[in-house]
């Protein structure tokens, strides 16, 4: 009989592999959407809708999936979820019209809900002081976005975009079977074991902290998803690269966004979710400040005549900034869920479902807004301007909701603190 330690790490390894494949599928339109856009003659807004459609379903289903995970156990829910997507993934290769891609994209988007299932499933196998690290390892499955950028363009160039969903459907079926073989049932959370009612689960929606964590996650995860979907096309449009080189450079953002999530879990266990998240948002804000500046030419009239200067990020600096922000987002995704495991140890599934839904909705709405802003302003960097504003608002919310109250509490305990009444 397998030991408890073997079960723990087998569950984490199998769940992480399954989540990686799910994320590969979820991000598929980031690559195949480019030739589809060309063949259908889509504008920027329509392209944003196309790549974001799977994210919509993956976001909306996260809350019910979290509730089902609490009641029926993560192993069964994860298995059924993956198995149900195999046929829709294959059907994408048959689509020829815009509405067909949108409909199949909605069904395939169910794979995005796998995060909520897996994060709760893995966390329950570990003690509280190691949950951040375990969830961070599982979250490394976000590298599926980078794998798609590395693998899918080669398939597109060699065999056509239709082969990508066909290969991914076979991969999903094989992964589903292997997942069931190498995972175990958590008997404390299988059918009938959980006594928490749906009404009690939904009580979490009344907690202001849940909405604050949702806001943070809509940045670190929603922004990650949106930029993962958008960056390949951005490199093509902004710097004139071909799809393979553009996807390779875009992977420079996606790779740290997945692999370093485990590091974020370790940091969160050691330094606390609040401190880590605070600095993550500041790093993102600085990066977005520079990324927001559009390619510009300006002329200065000097005594020797007009002189024209060009200001803008070249591809190298742009990639370094994106890589840095990918690291920050990876750490932030883990730190936000450390908040949840600390504050809601007995309701991780539903709370992670709410927070995951918010993050996923960020990943759905942002690409559409990116496309609309480009159509309206003509500035490709307008996507980063939007994100800069969102991060700034989140920092202010965090300051007033967490930083100031914590500072006031610390000052009140300081031995030199003087009661206000004595100052009159």
Q: What is the secondary structure of 109-124 as a DSSP string?
A: GGGGGHHHHHHHHHHT
Evaluate whether residue 408 is within a structural domain.
Answer: no
Structural domain includes residue 409: no
The pLDDT score that the predictor gives to residue 199 is 66
* Residue 420 lies inside a defined structural domain of this protein: no
Number of domains in the chain: 1
The rounded mean pLDDT for the chain is: 86
Report yes or no on 145 lying in a domain: yes
**Mean pLDDT of the region 226-252:** 90
Strands (E), 26-71: none
Lowest-confidence region among 73-77, 246-250, 338-342, 343-347: 343-347
In a domain, 372, yes or no: yes
Separation CA 235–CA 248 (nearest Å): 10
Strand partners, 298: 309
- Residue reference for tokens 């553009």: 246
pLDDT tens per residue across span 327-348: 999 899 888 878 887 777 766 6
Look up the domain containing 158 and give its range.
Answer: 7-186+196-298+309-403
Residue 78 placed within a domain? yes
Predicted local confidence at residue 424, as pLDDT = 40
CATH number for the domain spanning 133: value is 1.20.1250.20
- pLDDT score, position 369: 94
pLDDT value at residue 296: 87
Rounded to a whole number, what is the largest CA-CA distance in the chain? 86
Tokens for 156? 């597109």
Residue 294 within a domain: yes
Confidence of residue 274 (pLDDT cuts 50, 70, 90): confident
Greater confidence (90 vs 251) lies with: 90
pLDDT in the model for residue 65:
86
Q: What are phi and psi of 8, to 5 degrees?
A: -55, -55
Domain membership of residue 204 (yes or no) is yes
pLDDT of residue 297: 85
């Amino acid at each position: 009989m397998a030991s408890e330690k073997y079960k723990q790490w087998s569950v984490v390894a199998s769940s992480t592999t399954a989540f990686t494949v799910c994320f590969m599928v979820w991000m598929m339109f980031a690559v195949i959407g480019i030739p589809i856009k060309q063949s259908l003659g889509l504008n920027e807004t329509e392209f944003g809708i196309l790549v974001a459609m799977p994210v919509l379903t993956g976001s909306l289903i996260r809350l019910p999936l979290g509730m089902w995970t609490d009641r029926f156990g993560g192993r069964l829910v994860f298995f059924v979820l993956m198995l149900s997507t195999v046929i829709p993934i294959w059907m994408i290769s048959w689509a020829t019209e815009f509405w067909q891609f949108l409909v199949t994209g909605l069904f395939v988007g169910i794979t995005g809900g796998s995060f909520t299932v897996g994060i709760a499933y893995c966390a329950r196998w570990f003690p509280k002081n190691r949950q951040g690290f375990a969830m961070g390892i599982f979250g490394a499955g976000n590298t599926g976005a980078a794998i798609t950028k590395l693998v899918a363009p080669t398939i597109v160039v060699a065999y056509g975009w239709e082969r990508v969903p066909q290969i991914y459907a076979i991969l999903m079926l094989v992964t589903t079977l292997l997942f069931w073989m190498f995972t175990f049932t958590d008997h404390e959370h299988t059918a009938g074991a959980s006594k928490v009612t749906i009404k009690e689960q939904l009580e979490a929606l009344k907690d202001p902290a849940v909405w604050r964590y949702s806001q943070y996650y809509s940045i670190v995860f929603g922004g990650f998803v949106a930029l993962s979907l958008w960056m390949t096309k951005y490199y093509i449009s902004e710097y004139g690269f071909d799809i393979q080189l553009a996807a390779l450079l875009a992977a420079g953002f996606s790779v740290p966004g997945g692999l370093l999530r485990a590091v974020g879990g370790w940091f969160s266990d050691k330094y606390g979710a609040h401190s880590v998240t605070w600095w993550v948002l500041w790093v993102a804000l600085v990066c977005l400040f520079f990324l927001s500046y559009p390619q510009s030419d300006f002329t200065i009239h000097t005594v020797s005549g007009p002189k024209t200067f060009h200001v803008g990020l070249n591809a190298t600096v742009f990639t370094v900034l994106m890589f840095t922000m990918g690291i920050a987002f990876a750490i932030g995704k883990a730190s936000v869920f450390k908040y949840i495991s600390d504050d809601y140890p007995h309701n991780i599934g539903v709370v992670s479902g709410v927070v995951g839904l918010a993050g996923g909705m960020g990943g759905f709405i942002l690409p559409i807004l990116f496309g609309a802003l480009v159509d309206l302003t003509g500035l490709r960097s307008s996507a980063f301007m939007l994100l800069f504003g969102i991060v700034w608002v989140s920092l202010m919310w965090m300051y007033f909701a967490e930083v100031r109250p914590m500072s006031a509490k610390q000052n009140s305990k300081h031995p030199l603190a003087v009661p206000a009444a004595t100052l009159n």
